[in-house]
Each structure stands twice: as C-alpha cells, then as structure tokens.
Amino acid sequence: MTVPSTSTLTRANEQPVDGGRIRPVRHPGQWIGVAAILVAAALFVQFLVTNEKLRLDLVAGYLFERSVMRGLVLTLELTVVAMVLGIVLGTVLAIMRLSGNRVLSFVASGYIWFFRGTPILVQLLFWFFLGSILPVINLGIPFGPTFVEIPTNVLISQFTAAILGLGLNEAAYMAEIIRAGIKSVDPGQSEAAEAVGMSRMLAYRRIILPQASRVVLPPIANNTISMLKLSSLVIVVGLPELLTAVQLIYSRNFQQIPLLIVASIWYLLLTTILTIIQVRIERRLDRSVTGPRPVIRAAERQGTPS
C-alpha cells in the first residue's frame, strides 16, 4: 500500500479539541490573485482618468449623439432580425439535413456549403446589386405566363439587402449548431415520441428541439454577440450602424480614440444585456434537471407508499 507523507495522516488516538469543527482547505493562492487583479484594475482606472489624450469629456458628449443613437438602433434591429431569420432557417436546414430524404438533405448541405464558403461581404453586395443582374422579379408560372412584375430595387431595399446578407449567412452556421444540438438528444426520445403516435414534426417541436435548445443556447448567444459587431459590414450597402456612425464623426473631427470608446461602451452594454438574457434562459431550461424538488403536501402523501 502506498501512503502519502505520514504527517498528513491522522493517528488512531488523535482527539478533536474544538468539538470536531471541520476547517475547509485554505486557498492562499486565490487571495494573492485577487490582490494582483485589484492593483492592475486601479492602475488602469488611473490611466483612464489622468490621460488627457483619451478626452473622456468628448466620450460623454458623443455617447448620446443623434447619429450614434440612430446607429445603435440600426445595429439592434439588424442583429435581432438577422438572428431570428438565421435561427428559423437554420432549424429548417438542420431538420432537412437530418431527414432521411436524400433530396432535402442534399439541398440543405448545398446551402450550407455555399453560404459558409463565400465571403459575407460578397453576399451582402450580391443582394444589394441583385437589381443590376435581375432588374425585375416575375411572379408566375415558370416558363409560362407572368402575373406580377416587381422591379427588384423596389423589393430589395438597403435594409432588406442587409438582412438577407446577414441572415442567410447566419442560417448556414446556425444549421450546423442546431444539427449538433438535435444529435445530442438521446434517440430514445424520438422513439418514445413516435410510440405515442406523434408525427416527426410534432416530435421535433414538442420533444426534440426543446431538449436541443439547452445545448445550442451558448453557441447561439456567441453568434448573436458576434452579429452585433459583424453587422457593421452593412456599410457596404450604405447603412450606417453604430460603428460606422462613430467612424463618420471621427473622420470629421479626428477624435478617433474617444469615439471608438463611445462605440465600445455601447457594444459592451448590449453584450451585457444579451449575457443576462442568456443566463436567465439557461436557468429556465436547466430547471427540469437541476431544479428543486416540488414539495409533497402531507394530505397527498396519505395512502401513497412510494
């Protein structure tokens, strides 16, 4: 038998002196770490406050400036709409890929291959310039009569182009995240759902996707936070969201650093809110696994020997 150093072992006759109170293991390293972080934080704050070049007065002045506010709203709108489109279409694509149907699976794989494989900038510009390749969109029977003709530029505004670019691209990434989530659910679950007469779609909606959502939530939150910043690419279709708004200001007054701080403050705030929402949802979804047991009322317990 191997024995650690004899000094850490208790001899049989060792008696407790304070009624056997248990003293937890100490972690002195943690305290040293905390102290080091506090010192670093203090130095950073001092740098921020005393450095004249940062022009914190300008930061405060521009934080609520009108074009900055408009950019912030646009960033939010783009992120929300593109993510909703991405999640909905991504779910459809994931289910198509996993369906036994070869055609559906092939179409979904092709979509994912194309939209992940080409630069998002190109996709944004493609939707924006669709009007120049395809001036009118015809609704009707293919190769047959046309019922409605709509000029493409009317149908696809700057905002629509931005949403199509961001959302369709996001869907490709989302499809893979959701597919992984679905595959993480025990196959016994869909069997049990089928055995009680559920259709495949009902089983997805009520049984499989709710369970997959626990797994896919953290990566979806990741992608949403990325999207906040990725959406700045829509300047290529002429939309000034948050980052572009501050860039436009500093191109006039050359105060790059204060204005970039303005943008960062807003991005950090949005990220914080998203993180809080994520934690809330996660806690809700985990309730069934880690939640407290319900209380059994005494009246109910009578006659139930279980």
Partner 1 sequence: MTEPLVRAVNVRKSFGDLEVLRGIDLEINRGEVVCVLGPSGSGKSTFLRCINHLDRIDKGEIWVDGHLIGYRRAHGHTYELRPHEIAAQRRGIGMVFQKFNLFPHRTALENITEAPIFVKRQSKADAEARAHELLERVNLGDRADFYPAQLSGGQQQRVAIARALALDPTLMLFDEPTSALDPELVGEVLDTMKDLASDGMTMIVVTHEIGFAREVADRVVFMDGGVVVEHGPPRQVLDDPQHPRTRGFLAKVI
Binding site for partner 1 (CB under 8 A): 186, 188-189, 191-200, 202, 206-207, 210-211, 285, 287-291, 293-294, 296-297, 300-301, 304-306
Residue 149 or 191 having the CB closest to partner 1 = 191
Residue 189 or 264 having the CB closest to partner 1 = 189
**Shortest approach of partner 1 to residue 297 CB, angstroms?**
8
**Shortest approach of partner 1 to residue 116 CB, angstroms?**
31
CA distances in angstroms from 101 to 85, 106, 107, 181, 197, listed in the order given: 24, 9, 10, 20, 21
**Shortest approach of partner 1 to residue 218 CB, angstroms?**
17
Residue 102 or 297 having the CB closest to partner 1 = 297
Residue 9 or 201 having the CB closest to partner 1 = 201
Q: Residue 67 carries which side chain, given as an amino acid letter?
A: S
Supply 54's token pair. Answer: 């940062």
**Shortest approach of partner 1 to residue 99 CB, angstroms?**
12
Residue 77 or 282 having the CB closest to partner 1 = 282
> Are 107 and 93 spatial neighbours (Cβ–Cβ below 8 Å)?
no
**Shortest approach of partner 1 to residue 184 CB, angstroms?**
13
